[in-house]
Amino acid sequence: MKTLTDLGTKFRDRIIARYPQMEERDIPINCDVIQVDYRRDDIKKYHVIFWHRLLKRIYQGPSEIKCEFQYYGETFPFRKTPETNKWTVVGLDESLAAGIEAGEIRPSPVNWKYLIKLPSGGIAELGTRDRNTVFYISKVVRPEVSEKEDNEEETKFIDILLDEANRLRLGGQLFNPLNEFKKSEVPKSYLLFNVYLSNYLSGETILSIAESQEASLWKESLKYDARTDYADEKKREYINQSLLKCGTYYCSAITYFYMALEGFVNLLFHAFLKNSFRDNDFKIEVRFDLEQKLRFMTFLCNGFKETSVLPSTILQEFKTLRKYRNSLFHSKVEESLQSIVFVEDGFIYTYALDEDKDHFFPPLKIKMTVNDVIEAKNIVDGIVNSILNLMNQDTKMQTEKYILKEAAIRVIVTETGDYILGTEDEHLLKTVITSG
């Protein structure tokens, strides 16, 4: 069993002595590289940011950073020099260089690269591509030189890096994303999967095919004639099971629309809940059910017009939809009671209980129609639109732009604890335009 020990600078000193970072003057220009497949799956187990930190821990920064310039659409390699914070830019024209020097043009880093000299004289290239989302290890091709020794040294180098990566991962010393996120006091940025839009689009997709698919299910149930074939046990089982499938698409679509509503409201609470209610002990987002959130949203969340509340008609429609959703989800036995059999003078009569009930939606999914799904969708749309109408202009704009349209919603938590949808730059630009 291995014992974890913090080798600290000893490991760094040893690896730099054997595998030093190349000096800027020795870096080859326009050289061919070949990606190394050795232990690729092991390398992929570690996130790109883990490799960023590990290599920075060893070499104190990359050999080269590729940057792009806003409005120019080009990227240029910045190469590290022996002087601290001094970089050589390859291929940069004078106008761009002057703009950078004056602070008028700001380069944005998109990828980084380390060039490491192997004992054999070969060069290992470790870096990122696809806008810093993929980490790779390659080797620089040396014409007219045997690859065997370079390959052996590169595999040794990779083994050493992976051993150190595993040591640091097990010790949790280098990268623990959730802990870092929770403890960080600096502004935080993260992406939320748009559960509202995902479920809403799923509901629309199922609705678009529901009638044709339900027609197929009904056709399947009519394969045998219940009047003449019901005595046959296998045919009777086929008929019964086919009928039980009917309504599947209608029921699924309604379920997705309801889940979309839940997702919409939960996203609003996450984004706009007032700081005074963001209490880890109280956990208002968890304690309140959906109806309570709808009723008190305008008081608990920022961005709503003063004294605004959802109309009672909207709340009543929500209760109708919720009741129906609950009957589908919870499958209570009493709600499954569909008919009673009476025997009168030897004659058998079957009485359907729903005949004297006034149902907004049919109690059994087999009796659903496409109009029931459309009605459920209209209720959800009506609630969403009513909420939007209660918002001030800025909150409504953020909701329409991000929650109603974006697959992933960027959230920024500022130093003051305020939540922003989108980016700080977008909000800064909007502030400047408004004040101007």
Measuring CA to CA, which residue among 202, 196, 200, 193 is closest to residue 408? 193
Q: What value does the mean pLDDT of the chain take?
A: 83
Q: What integer is the mean pLDDT of 295-312?
A: 93
Strands 123-129 and 339-344: unpaired
Quick: pLDDT tens for 347-374. 767 666 654 444 567 877 888 899 999 9
> For position 174, what pLDDT does the model report?
81
- Integer Cα distance of 338 and 352 in angstroms: 6
For residues 381 and 239, the model is more confident at 381
Q: CA 378 → CA 197, 383, 388, distances in Å?
A: 16, 9, 15
> For position 281, what pLDDT does the model report?
73
Neighbours of 141 (CB within 10 A): 15
Q: Which residue type is seen at 330?
A: H
> For position 340, what pLDDT does the model report?
65
With cut-offs at 50, 70 and 90, classify the pLDDT of residue 306.
confident
Q: Is the pLDDT of residue 198 over 50?
A: yes
With cut-offs at 50, 70 and 90, classify the pLDDT of residue 9.
low
Quick: pLDDT tens for 16-28. 999 999 887 787 7
> For position 50, what pLDDT does the model report?
93
- Integer Cα distance of 13 and 207 in angstroms: 64
Cβ contact 36:158 at 8 Å: yes
Q: Which residue type is seen at 220?
A: E
Return phi, psi of residue 206, to 5°. Answer: -65, -40
